[in-house]
Structure 1
């Protein structure tokens, strides 16, 4: 494997210097991701299973949205009225103040979970979809595994403190991204600032997300708090064409959660930018060709290259072209991938970009190889016998 360490003149921006200003959140665990590219901007204890508090309600919501989308019989729609059980009414903490025996529409229950963080509403949904909350929790764990959430296990539908109820920050970020991507028709609910279900409980109508309405593009998703977990937030914000998702946990107060969440959003948008680095067909380097009619072949981008990069110049961006070489002429065919460009921004994961031959290199024929060898030998024996243009 050959490597060419480059300061790439063809990609002027890659020749510049970039680095993100270091950021260390006050949260005990955190995960920040650029939604469009999947680039992880920050991971702090991100894969440790922790008590997620009400943030785990996002999994309940995902399963409810999934059931709505799969319903073909009209048995689980936004207008379907579901019965409230005694088990649902018995939950404390954040609730919709539902009473056993009443029936509530699925739409109201969803808003009750998203805006009011209703523990009781989660149980009503769980019992409707799985019969019991315990059965629903087992389904949540199984579905999470199928979605790639490998550090999540659920003991209930709402995040009420219970042994074995755990999620990692990365898993919470993953389910947030899937809610946004898979169910855009329901996602606007997360930006609603208030929902008044019971006029007798008018004080309990405001969304606890501290970022909504601040003008920084925040439009979701879910707060959480227990004594064990501290204060946390799964958030998302969109500015221009960029969206970021972030998860914070372990903060000491609601005020600290609000301050840190806003700080994270500003940092993610101001310290990183989507940067166009080259158009399809841009030549990045030349690779050596063995026994070919030409000694090298150009290496070009197969498609436009745009990366999320830090914006503050501090250290040179590392980039390298690697290929197995010298490349045999029979493999130097226009449009064939023969190399990789590896770009490693400081503090961010590396990106590997395929590079392709810009033209086909014909192999040397037998006669051509013999003549070339003969000229080489003749030049060594008697340089004057070879024309000056060939002997020089």
Structure 2
């Protein structure tokens, strides 16, 4: 009987549901992605993390001031964790003095200044100030070296295994590198994890020391795209780089171009990537986290069924096509046995556009079901044993 029970327990129930009816065959011809004059680039879908377009996506490259994306992320996490505040005052040291960064971007702070974290973050993000980066690093960690350790720790936490920082600002040096894919991942996490920080990336100008400087991300002024943030970078080793994010309806895309030959090229390359994505891809919301997806049979529990759904809203971004329908398949790791904790994964759902997979997500229990009585557990064991001789055990109730 134990062997039979193991055989039953290993089976899964598969349910295929059609979500959208077929539309008349009107396929859209999709051209090849643009080929860009850059060392590496990616176009990433924000919702899924899928790379829609890529070239040398995992090639280690010098990040230049794209490094400041991680500097801003770390400061944002420190604020969230209560170790500093937006209004905290920072005493500017000799190390952060702007004259120590000749011929590079700076906020123009000087020793003896007392500057709030929010102003230093604007100097970091809008003006791309190397001096602001050092001042923030010293404020958070006591030294720039200590802060760099935090940056690299966070890179590992975020899965950025091909990234290493050696300073807080990104000036060239031995052992500093990242990849286009990992810069897109970092921008995604800034938007998700520290939204108050991301808001600063849309600011077009900032004045400090009576000097007005404009955001170097020229796409913020592009009326053809809804770009609401990004970061530029340049050094002689890295070339000209730009990370940008833009939205169109429910779709958000992140473009990364690294190592272009000029400021104008990085802007044009970013525009081409974003326009290609918005023109030839579409985003649909497939499921909502606060709604149940199905009701599943539970065995040996104090309840006979359990509601299942998703931990977060589910979206899919895929090539536009008007000759397909969206379908889904639910696979339950059945039969489902109590006890089941709320949030526990009990199955998977896969979505398809025509025959092409477009999304997959775990199904989780929306409630807790405790073990039933001894009588209930014994009875269900017998029922499962008998059912194993005739057919698969039904797991999806509705």
2:220 pairs with 1:209: no
Aligned-partner Cα distance in 1 for 2:139–2:285? 49
The aligned residue for residue 387 of structure 1 is: none
Tell me which of 27, 34, 56 is aligned to 1:24: 34
What SS class does the counterpart of residue 78 from structure 2 fall into? helix
Alignment pair present for 1:153 and 2:161 = no
Q: Distance in 1 between matches of 2:152 and 2:247?
A: 30
How far off is 1:23 after superposition? 0.3
Residue in structure 2 matching 1:117, options 125, 128, 153: 128
Alignment partner of 2:162: what SS? coil
Per the alignment, residue 245 of structure 2 pairs with: 236
CA distance in structure 2 between the aligned counterparts of 1:257 and 1:347, rounded to whole angstroms:
33
2:186 is aligned to: 175
- Indicate if the aligned counterparts of 2:43 and 2:54 stay in contact, CA closer than 8 A: yes
Q: 1:252 is matched with which residue?
A: 261
Rounded Cα–Cα distance in structure 2 between residues aligned with 1:67 and 1:192: 22
Query: 1: CA distance between counterparts of 2:354 and 2:230?
Result: 29
Paired residue for 2:197?
A: 186
Q: CA deviation at 1:344?
A: 7.6
Two-structure CA RMSD over aligned residues (Å): 4.4
SS at match of 2:159: coil
- How far is 1:167 from its partner? 1.2
Q: What is the aligned residue count? A: 336
Contact 2:348 2:361 in 1 (8 A): no
Deviation at 1:105, TM superposition (A): 1.8
Paired residues of 2:20 and 2:325 also in contact (CA < 8 A): no
Counterparts in 2 of 1:85 and 1:348: CA distance versus 1, 3 Å? farther
Map 1:1-392 → 2, pairs under 5 A: 11-13=20-22, 20-26=30-36, 27-71=38-82, 76-88=85-97, 89-92=99-102, 93-199=104-210, 201-202=211-212, 205-215=213-223, 216-275=225-284, 307-312=316-321, 341=350, 343=352, 351=360
| CA shift for structure 1 position 9 | 6.9
- The CA deviation string for residues 3-26 of structure 1, in whole angstroms up to 9 with x for no partner, is x9x9x9775359968674320341
2:205 counterpart SS class: coil
Give 1:276 deviation, angstroms. Answer: 6.5
Distance change in 2, residues 1:276/1:52 (3 Å): closer
Quote the Cα distance in structure 1 between the aligned partners of 2:110 and 2:19: 68
Secondary structure in 2 aligned to 1:154?
A: coil
Cα–Cα, structure 1 residues 262 and 347, in superposed 2: closer, same or farther, change >3 Å? farther
SS at match of 2:218: coil
2: CA distance between counterparts of 1:155 and 1:99?
23
C-alpha spacing 1:263/1:138, structure 2 compared with 1 (3 Å): same
The Cα of 1:213 is off from its aligned counterpart by 2.3
1:63 and 1:302, CA in 2 relative to 1: closer, same or farther beyond 3 A?
closer
> How far is 1:46 from its partner?
1.6
Structure-1-length-normalised TM-score? 0.70
Q: Is the 8 A contact 1:13 1:277 kept in 2?
A: no
Q: Structure 1 residues 141, 15: closer, same or farther in 2, change over 3 A?
A: farther
Q: Deviations over 1:145-165 (max 9, x none)?
A: 122111111110000001111
The Cα shift of 1:264 comes to: 1.4
Structure 2: segments with no counterpart, 5+ residues: 1-10, 295-307, 336-344, 364-382, 391-398
Q: Which runs of 5+ in 1 are unaligned?
A: 284-300, 329-335, 355-362, 371-392
Q: 1:86 to 1:350 in 2, by over 3 A?
A: closer
8 Å CA contact 1:344–1:350 kept in 2: the answer is no
Give the corresponding residue for 1:388.
none
1:188-221, Cα deviation, whole Å (9 max, x unpaired)? 211111111121x34xx11110100212111112
Report if aligned partners of 1:30, 1:169 keep a CA contact under 8 Å in 2.
yes
Cα pair 1:271 1:310 within 8 Å, conserved: yes
TM-score when normalising by structure 2? 0.69
Aligned to 1:381: none
Shift of 1:239: 2.0
